[in-house]
Amino acid sequence: MLHRTRLIVLGRQGAGKGTQCARLAARLSVPHVSTGDLFRAEAADGTEIGRRAAAYLDAGALVPDDLVLDLVAGRLGGPDARALGYLLDGFPRTLAQGQALFEVLGSGAADIAVELHVPTSVVLPRLAARRVCQDCGANSRAGPGDPDVTKCDQCGGTVTRRTDDTDEAIHRRLATYDRESRPLLDWLDDRDLLVRVDGVGDPDVVHQRLLDAVRNRIPAIDDV
């Protein structure tokens, strides 16, 4: 029988979370719900939520909770998430968001919360080198001395830095994560939901560590 898996993945920006979450969600056959991706899509489409969130995104600041909760409620109410569960990437980010998630969905809101841990000395250069294609969304890495704007290997589109990957915004986002997410991590730990996974190393090895952590906690998905 299909187990409805509900995961939260937390981690500082540059921990490789987006890539690992996409891969883990595909492996577990659950929808990958990234609030950052959802906000960027809303902003690109010029929707009401997107317009209200855009200034926060560009500044690397957290979008107000009411807007985030509207966005997430809409996404988790969809038929795929109701049937299959979800992998939450980038939400919850604060204690208030975590409490709201469990208040709305009950104690089964998450089977496990994984923190993908990578030290600052590793994430800073990764973020400075990160590039994203404006057309197909593919992530790539700039080498030393590479220009800020290049052509996408995959689709020929325009590859640039994310608007919130400027040095100032990177520092602000890392500081915000440490300040806002720490109480959330402690709260999840008190509920015995939190598992910390080392995010340093070859992406295949990190993927396996994540999978092992999830399988340990949810034996029903042992056969994926």
Residues with catalytic function: 17, 93, 130, 162, 173
Q: Which positions from 151 through 170 interact with ligand AMP, judged by CB under 6 A?
A: 164
- The reply on whether position 177 binds ligand AMP by CB under 6 A is no
CA-nearest of 155, 149, 164 to 135 is 155
Q: Which positions from 65 through 84 interact with ligand AMP, judged by CB under 6 A?
A: 68
Q: Give yes or no for a contact between 5 and 212, defined as CB atoms under 8 angstroms apart.
A: no
- The reply on whether position 36 binds ligand AMP by CB under 6 A is yes
Cis omega (within 30 of 0) for bond into 119? no
Which residue of the chain is nearest ligand AMP when measured via CB? 36
Nearest approach in angstroms of CB 214 to ligand AMP is 20
**199 SS3 class:** coil
Comparing CB distances to ligand AMP, the nearer of 3 and 40 is: 40
Amino acid (1-letter code) at residue 17: K
Name residue 9's beta-bridge partners: 89, 114
Nearest approach in angstroms of CB 67 to ligand AMP is 8
- The reply on whether position 20 binds ligand AMP by CB under 6 A is no
Could you please report the per-residue DSSP string of 48-86?
Answer: HHHHHHHHHHHHTPPPPHHHHHHHHHHHHTSHHHHHHEE
CA-nearest of 99, 96, 74, 101 to 6 is 101
Comparing CB distances to ligand AMP, the nearer of 62 and 218 is: 62
Size, binding site for ligand AMP by CB under 6 A: 17
Comparing CB distances to ligand AMP, the nearer of 24 and 221 is: 24
Residue from 20, 30, 50, 91 touching ligand AMP (CB under 6 A): that is 91
Determine how many CB atoms are found less than 10 A away from the CB of residue 68.
25
Comparing CB distances to ligand AMP, the nearer of 170 and 210 is: 170
Tokens of 213: 């952590």
- The reply on whether position 187 binds ligand AMP by CB under 6 A is no
Q: Which positions from 134 through 153 interact with ligand AMP, judged by CB under 6 A?
A: none
Amino acid (1-letter code) at residue 56: Y
- The reply on whether position 15 binds ligand AMP by CB under 6 A is no
Determine how many CB atoms are found less than 10 A away from the CB of residue 110.
22
Binding site for ligand AMP (CB under 6 A): 13, 35-36, 39, 56-57, 60-63, 68, 90-91, 93, 97, 164, 173
